[in-house]
Amino acid sequence: WQERGAAVGVRRETDASGRTVVRQVKKGVRDFSFGRILGEGSYSSVYLATDRQTLKEYAIKVLEKRHIIKEKKIKYVNIEKDTLNRLTEHPGIVRLYYTFQDQNSLYYVLDLCSGGELLGVLKKTGTFDVECTRFYSAQILDAISYMHSRGVIHRDLKPENVLLDDQMNIKITDFGTAKLLQDPREARRQMERGILDPSRGDEDDDGRAASFVGTAEYVSPELLTHKNACKASDLWAFGCIVYQLLVGRPPFKAGSEYLTFQKIVHLEYEFPQGFPLAARDLVERLLVLDPSRRLTIEHIKNHEFFDGQAFGKTLWRTKAPRLR
């Protein structure tokens, strides 16, 4: 596992003559003091941590080498790292600052999102009003747009993976199951064909096809029927999230994963009384079984539901609306 990309950090200092000197610094586990656990996955734990020198707080994801090898997850680990190294310039994506390792573990030093999960806030308020739904959906869409422009498909978008920073802006996380388009030519071919060629990310460590399926309530019908993810699969999940912010629960939920999958492939969902009409039109044009017929990101940004909503830099400078 090569410490590529963010293996070193950069520190700006002022020398005796007052000039700014940029020094490359190599961080290690001893440079941080580790605090509480923020979350645990099947082969990683995420800790709150503080840089002993700068006192800046981070989230550090610790992956146990022995477990990764035993569970044949080396590909997933490298896909997450390559993905995070690709997605470095967007306020809506958790940023990777450093990576390093010791004898037993790999370490990713990431943005801390002190606001926790968007889902946690939604559970407290029950539902979001239209203004909050529009603002947070716009931020999620802006982040998806950047991801797709860099040839990354998340494949497991859900409110649990949408975190909130100290300004209550969103940051998308957990790219361990992302799919990377190898190059823009492939990305264009994928867009034209509406499906994704088998590229990196769907074989296990022995090269056997290991088709990944996301979280039941947000998985797209094409992943369930053809085993193929495409950029439009993230927009299906986006449609589920918009619905959930306004209703308080996802559109497709049943007593078991199998029954949830049945609801998805048969498009069995309903809008409760009073569901806002513009939002309903948007969700209906996203929850479309044929991925090639779903709204594209540009069409979504121009949809009536987002009338008056800024995207791009303005969106991230706007103060988040009070959640209610």
Ligand X SMILES: NC(=O)c1nn(CC2CCNCC2)c2c1CCc1cnc(N=C3C=CCC=C3)nc1-2
Residues that bind ligand X (CB under 6 A): 38-39, 41, 46, 59, 61, 94, 110-113, 116-117, 160-161, 163, 173-174
Residue in the shown chain whose Cβ atom is closest to ligand X: 39
Nearest approach in angstroms of CB 221 to ligand X is 25
Kindly tell me which of 39 and 321 has the beta carbon lying closer to ligand X: 39
C-alpha 58/C-alpha 9 separation (Å) is 14
Nearest approach in angstroms of CB 154 to ligand X is 12
Kindly tell me which of 62 and 297 has the beta carbon lying closer to ligand X: 62
Nearest approach in angstroms of CB 86 to ligand X is 15
DSSP letter for each residue of 250-284: -SS--SSHHHHHHHHHTT---PPTT--HHHHHHHH
Inter-residue contact 118 to 170 (CB < 8 Å): yes
C-alpha 293/C-alpha 317 separation (Å) is 33
The CA radius of gyration of the chain, in Å to the nearest whole number, is 20
Token pair, residue 322, equals: 């009070």
Kindly tell me which of 106 and 300 has the beta carbon lying closer to ligand X: 106
Q: Which active-site residues does the annotation give?
A: 156
Nearest approach in angstroms of CB 248 to ligand X is 18
Q: How far is CA 37 from the centre of its chain?
A: 20
Nearest approach in angstroms of CB 17 to ligand X is 39
Kindly tell me which of 71 and 186 has the beta carbon lying closer to ligand X: 71
Burial of 321 (0-12, 13-18, 19+ CB in 10 A): middle
3-class DSSP assignment, residue 7: coil
C-alpha 182/C-alpha 159 separation (Å) is 27
